[in-house]
Amino acid sequence: MKKDLISVIMAVYNCAPTVQEAIDSIINQTYANWEFIICDDCSTDNTLEIVKEYEEKYPDKFKVIRNDVNSKLSFSLNHCLKYAQGEFIARMDGDDISRSDRFEKQVKYLREHPDIDLVSTLVQRFEGDKLADIIKKPEFPDKYTQRSQVAFNHATIMTYKYVYDKCGGYTVSKRTVRAQDYDLWFRFFYHDFKGINMQEPLYLMREDMSAIKRRTFMVRFHAHRTTIKGFRLLKYPLRWYIKPTLQFIGKSLVPGFIVYKYRQIQARKAKNSTKEST
């Protein structure tokens, strides 16, 4: 492993309208010692051509690979990990934005806290040029955090390569589609790793109607299966299974347009809150 090098891993699929902004947010990081490994999951738009342009312009920084068939996020990220040379692994998504000091602050924290294996940050949702709510996470999650929420904001994480090696990477399964991070954190805590959520929104996550539509009933059903499997792995008591089961049923009954309207209300509240504090 190359000391202090960050291997950024990102899977892309039909995100041509947003991927340049996502990549540029990494190019503009104040911490410059990184490589960017991008896996195209058989996009049908010009996403591959866009990311290839970065590889041609920055051949020492970018490595672009492509799946033979569309294989979803878990497979694509594992594909990226095969090429990772860095001591650190950082995540990035093709429709989001990292603030310019994200990597600098994460590396600094890991260096100053050798007992910590992973550092995540808070996330702020946005749509267009409008910022919405900040997704809160506990600063010091533990194995019991997974009882009520996902312990870390997946796309914001920076961890060590040995963590992925010990956990066996991402689980490739229908069960983990859009729940691959939740599944990974169960195994993370099973192996007694420690992580932290920095209490700063160093990552902006795009939240629009298309993102909400991807949370289908079957996606939620398989995520619930992952919940049950994870609870068993960490030996949670049976009574703890009731709440996530009721939540799964409740969320499955809420139409997507209502969720979208709720997100818009959150955006207005966040904007008003910012005005009041300035």
Rounded CA-CA distance 152/135 in Å is 10
What are the C-alpha distances in Å from 80 to residues 9, 15, 18, 169, 245? 6, 18, 20, 11, 33
The pLDDT value given to residue 199: 98
Residues in the chain: 278
Cα–Cα dist 19/26, whole Å: 11
CA 60 to chain centre: 25
pLDDT recorded at residue 277: 44
Tokens of 16: 């041509």
Contact call for residues 198 and 121 (beta carbons, < 8 A)? yes
CA 210/CA 87 separation, integer angstroms: 35
Mean pLDDT by 10 residues, the chain (278 residues): 92 97 98 98 98 98 98 97 98 98 98 98 91 93 95 98 98 92 97 98 82 66 91 96 84 56 56 48
The β-bridge partners of 160 are 88
* Tokens coding 173: 């399964």
Q: How many CA atoms lie within 13 A of 94 on its CB side?
A: 22
- The pTM (predicted TM-score) of the whole model is 0.87
